[in-house]
Amino acid sequence: MANNLTRRYFLKNGSLAALSIPLNLAIAHAATGVGNIPIIPQIYSTLLLGKSPPANKRNKLIFISDIHMNVDANYSWIVEHAPYLGEFLNSINARDDISELVILGDLVDNWVRPIEDAPQSFSDVLTSSTNTKEIVPALQAVCANPDIKVTYVVGNHDMLSFETDNRNILTSTFPGMEIISDSPGLGAYSKDNVIWAEHGHRYCLFNAPDTWSRADGHLPLGYFISRLAASHSSRTGVVTTTPELLNEYVETHLGLNNGFFDDLLILGIFNAIALWNENDPLVDKFIMAGKDGYTPDPLIEAVAVTYDSIFSNWPLRQNRVPAMEAVLNDVGYLGSAANHLFEMPLHWTGKYPFTPRIVLFGHTHQAEFLYQSGTDEDTIYVNTGTWIDKSEDMTWVEIEINDIPDNKKSYGVSLWCYGETSPRQSASITASVV
């Protein structure tokens, strides 16, 4: 892990970027708040999104993630930004240079719900008024466009999208959308043996699918942390997100314990979050209503006991990244997992169909762009960021693919922010056609 965190990355323009520094801390952004972000539909597709290539040359891929559509409630993460996302999707549909829209997870938020309420269904989310007014019809229109393919890759907050009922509601709501979601809640997108894209929760200790801690289960400890956060938001009227809680509590424990982590500290974090929410772990229960096979509804303390060895048993279960790295990945250091993909260590052999040159993740809600040029092949890691209200920056990624001589292709990757007239960062690589 230390080697990954100390490596240096260079942007195409020569400026230095350190691994995992959030974009909103590294780059000054133009908009200072939602009220200052203009909606400019007439010029959006030409000015904000750049000039289109010649007619009929659809050679761009668009990647977005972490939309977090939820029910209409004061704990929902996207309300104020819903009109902007709807406008963005409409602009995508109007462009003539886009061949595919890829949604990298957390399209539907099936996690954020107070512990005292029964979990909502995918249908509840997709029929809520905020979503049906802005986001759903705009995405439906893109799905109906015969010139734009729409691909959805599962995230953690919509982990159970592989279940038949959930898949059916997604299919019926968004006809034509390709769904990449397989049990126990994972999926990945790839193209040309160059691009590899996932939500990123596979490499995160609190949020990776967990089929070991409970028989026939899939939901990880992060699910229950999300519900505690929703309860607190509902009670106080102030939205608190799961990444905020994990960042605060994990960093606090790291500081108090000089970077040492074990199972006891994981349980300490969970119980501390429950107490912060004014819950008694020995009295209060999570109302599950049979979700993910939970019967009866578990006490908070019972949930803690269920996941009491996720740290020590992580290497036996998720044999990709070390346990401590998986903790750090959940609080914003997913660039280390991208490094592994670029380097493809021996213990990853056979788990991936190729060694990528471009890796995209979501999950952290922190947009990042890291270009590495060295003695080996150039690589690009980019995180698509999020569209939730808590983030001032609503970001996405574009990849332009062009054929060039000698049986090669160029891949121009750029990170965009809603309301700005040029990409925040960009770089390109050249790869041989396989």
- Asked, for residue 129, whether it belongs to a domain, the answer is yes
- What DSSP state is assigned to residue 48? I
CB 148 within 8 A of CB 114: no
Q: Is residue 109 part of a domain?
A: yes
Cα separation, 393 vs 23, in Å, equals 9
Residue (of 91, 109, 85, 240) closest to 166 by Cα position:
109
Q: Is residue 247 part of a domain?
A: no
With residues binned 3-state (H G I as helix, E B as strand, rest as coil), the percentages for the chain, rounded to 5, are 35, 20, 45
> Where is 222: in which H helix or E strand?
helix 221-236
Q: What does the mean pLDDT of the chain come to?
A: 88
Structural domain contains residue 54? yes
Domain that residue 15 falls in = 2-213+331-432
d(CA 174, CA 101): 13
| Global pTM value | 0.87
Confidence label for 34 from pLDDT (cuts 50, 70 and 90)? very low
Q: Establish if 190 belongs to a structural domain.
A: yes
Mean pLDDT score, 10-14: 30
pLDDT classification of 255: cutoffs 50, 70, 90 = confident
pLDDT in tens, 202-217: 999 999 999 999 999 9
Residue 285 lies in a domain: no
Output the domain CATH number for residue 41.
Answer: 3.60.21.10
Which tens digit of pLDDT belongs to each residue from 372-399?
Answer: 997 678 999 999 999 999 999 999 999 9
Assigned domain for 138 exists: yes
76 assigned to some structural domain: yes
Through-space distance between the first and last CA atoms of the chain, rounded to whole angstroms:
32
Q: What is the pLDDT of residue 433?
A: 81
How many domains, in total, are found in the chain?
Answer: 1
